[in-house]
Structure 1
Amino acid sequence: MKKKRTAQKAYVYLKKTWTLYLMLLLPVAFAVVFRYLPMTNIVMAFKDYNMFKGVWASEWSDPIFKWFQKAFQTKDFWYALRNTLLLNFLDLIFGFPFPIILALLLNELAFKRYKRVTQTIVYLPHFLSWIIISGMARQLLAPRTGVVNVLLGKVGLGPINFLMENGLYVATYIALGLWKEMGWNTIIYLAAITGINPELYEAAEVDGASRLRKIWHVTLPGIRSTIIVLLIMNMGRILGSEFDRPFAMQNDLVMDVADVLSTYVYRVGIRGFQFSLTAAVGLFQSVVCVIFLFGANAIAKRFGERGIW
């Protein structure tokens, strides 16, 4: 009898919502075809890939971890790994708190029109590609003709090679990343702030709380779960690196700090036709990122937070 009632409820539910499942069919098919099926080619990391035979017809490596050993035995790989961790860690340290601060500042603005204009101007750089930003940076920071160095020369500071010295390159790399993505990430925190109950602010104001006190005791606790989730997701990308940003900004003078795993894979694996090596390095990146993700989520739960799952 219970099974019959359950089947009837399921039938009624599907009769009401079948159109939603039909709409969901296309994105699910897209994910399966273009996201999950290509993952089967990960076996390339354990094979001596031959492009004429294909992935599955190629012979298995001997030993099976041959391409991992080859990557770990090269100095360029360890330099790229070090640079990836360094740049991503600096991105996390400087790039993560700034959107929170900016969201808090924008939330405190009394003039809504000024707030909207400022928010729009700040997140517009997100829509620019790194190729465009790299070209702008090279023009503005050029040692002799760049606007920045021309202005510095007028105050007697002399030309500064922002993109040609290791330390200055790293600082410029982080600053440009912060400028590009800070406004976009701010939108997430502003959306979380709008979900805070206004009565909490009214109660704090009745108790005589100042603006800073309301931010500390109401706003920040109200968006804490959002902060934790985004922090966990950023920790999951600590070893991952986008390709266009470092590739567009690097040059031969700063390769010691500019070469990351994504550009290493492109240079050694793809341009060098070592596709199995490319797959091995990519698999290594993914496994480490998953470990960081699970570790960060476990730590968040231990401190009483909800985490991602």
Structure 2
Amino acid sequence: MAVHKNASPLQMIGLYLWKHKMLYLLSIPGILYFVVFKYVPLAGSAIAFQDYNIFKGFSGSAWIGFKNFDKMFAYMEFVRILENTLLIAAYDLIFAFPAPILMAMLLNELRGMIYKRLVQTVIYMPHFLSWVIISGIAIGLLSQEHGIVNHLRSWIGLDRVYFLGEESYIKSIIVGSGVWRDTGWGTIIYLAAITGINPEQYEAAEIDGASRWRQTISITLPSLLPTITIMFLLQIGHFLDFGFERVFVFLNSLNQSSGDTLDTYIYRVGLLQQQYGYTTAIGLFKSIVGLALLVTGNALSKKATGEGLY
């Protein structure tokens, strides 16, 4: 389509949109999803500054400024739950984030394609199980009377332990179950990045006498660095957003004080006790912290590696 040299900017935009109209039509469902479910709900953040009454709505509820935020840090219960969330999120970042990277590099070393695809399928499968099923499997394995873990402990002469009733174990159970469930799924991105590495680099390294281990350290890992950086930035953006269902299915009256996170606290106080303004303030606090971590991490990443989200 020819464009006149004297066309106005609006005409240029219109011609460009018309030229790529099919691409924009295909993008409409995605755009609508983000508008309806991501941007429109942002208006609800105003509840954080109100003594919100569900019957009076936005316009009828009294504005109370930052009192809900003052309430957050005035209660020791919130401080304890924030500490739990930070610890669980930190453990997840330390142990769960590197797991798919290591798994992808190990799978890349398998030479038998049939065996490689079989292993990939097996480690992908847990991702498609709901957290209710995952918790049922974990409870079955860790049961004090019938769990295989306690049977092994008895076999070697150790006492049986009620793992889900001990506060000291709940964080490890939550993080460990997440590692088992999502490690295989996370390898998809890293395996795709590995397939994009020029094979001539490996051939040249092999001619120079580099071992497989040396090739992994000097070629595979550096080539994965841009992908690792992007995935890391995406994860720290959700640092406090650990997920409700993932934690809630493992909680009981014995381990709640150590396993309770901001998401389960919001459910208990916001929905069950109907403190909508207070819990909206907590959600807004989570979003601000995530945004600050994302912006800071992106700036540091661009300075250190030259890679970033924007």
TM-score (norm 2): 0.94
Which residue is equivalent to 2:62?
59
| Pair 1:249–1:210, CA change in 2 (3 A) | same
Matches for 1:137-148 after TM superposition, within 5 Å: 137-148=138-149
Displacement after TM superposition at 1:127 (Å): 0.9
Give per-residue Cα distances to partners, 1:47-70, cap 9 Å, x unaligned. Answer: 111111112331211xx1011111
Q: Identity of paired residues, percent?
A: 45
**Which residue in 1 is equivalent to 2:31?**
28
Match for residue 225 of structure 2?
224
Counterpart Cα distance in 2 of 1:30 and 1:235: 23
Task: Say if 2:98 is the partner of 1:112.
Answer: no
Aligned mates of 1:49, 1:27 — CA distance in 2: 32
Task: Name the SS for the 1:2 alignment partner.
Answer: coil
Sort the Cα spacing of 1:2 and 1:16 in 2 relative to 1 into closer, same or farther, 3 A. closer
Task: Confirm or deny that 1:39 pairs with 2:42.
Answer: yes
**CA drift at 1:5:** 8.3
For residues 274 and 198 of structure 1, what CA distance do their matches in structure 2 show?
A: 58
Match of 1:188 in 2: 189
TM-score (norm 1): 0.94
* Residues 203-232 of structure 1: CA deviation (Å, up to 9, x unaligned): 111111110111011111111100111111
Is residue 2:7 matched to residue 1:4?
A: yes
User: 15-24 or 117-126, which moves further after superposition?
Assistant: 15-24
Q: C-alpha separation between the residues in 1 aligned to 2:269 and 2:14?
A: 56
Post-superposition offset of 1:175: 1.3
Equivalent AA in structure 1 for residue 257 of structure 2: D
SS in 2 for 1:196: coil
Question: Runs of 5+ in structure 1 lacking a partner?
Answer: none
With over 3 angstroms needed to count, the CA separation of the structure-2 counterparts of 1:45 and 1:308, relative to structure 1, is same
Superposition deviation, residue 143 in structure 1: 0.6
1:135 maps to 136
Q: Tell me the distance in 2 between the aligned counterparts of 1:277 and 1:110.
A: 56
Q: Specify the code of the residue in structure 1 equivalent to 2:294.
A: L
Q: What SS does the corresponding residue of 1:33 show, helix, strand or coil?
A: helix
Letter in 1 for 2:193: A
Partner of 2:100: 99
Show the counterpart of 1:280: 281
Counterpart contact for 1:161–1:168, Cα < 8 Å:
no
- Matched with 1:87 is 88
**RMSD after superposition:** 1.7
Distance of 1:25 and 1:173 partners within structure 2: 38
Superposition map of 1:209-288 within 5 A: 209-288=210-289
Cα distance between partner residues in 2 of 1:142 and 1:222: 43
Q: In structure 2, how many angstroms separate the alpha carbons of the residues matched to 1:243 and 1:186?
A: 24
C-alpha distance after superposition, 1:49-100 (max 9, x if no partner): 1111112331211xx1011111211111111100000000001101111211
Q: Which moved more, 1:94-103 or 1:144-153?
A: 144-153
Q: Give distance in 1, aligned partners of 2:8 and 2:230.
A: 39
Q: Rate the CA distance shift 1:8–1:246 in 2: closer, same or farther, 3 A.
A: closer
- Supply the distance in 2 between the matched residues of 1:7 and 1:243 (Cα, whole angstroms): 46
The one-character-per-residue Cα deviations of 1:21-61 (angstroms, maximum 9, x if unpaired) are 12222321232122211110110000111111112331211
Query: SS at 2:143's partner residue?
Result: coil
Q: Which amino acid aligns with 1:132?
A: I
Matches within 5 A, 1:130-169: 130-169=131-170
8 Å CA contact 1:48, 1:60 repeated in 2: yes
Q: How far apart, in 1, do the equivalents of 2:8 and 2:278 lie?
A: 56
What SS class does the counterpart of residue 50 from structure 1 fall into? coil
Pairing 1:203–2:204 present: yes
* Distance change in 2, residues 1:2/1:281 (3 Å): same
Q: Tell me, in whole angstroms, the C-alpha distance in 2 between the residues paired with 1:300 and 1:68.
A: 31
Extract unaligned runs of 5+ from structure 2. none
Aligned to 2:302: 301
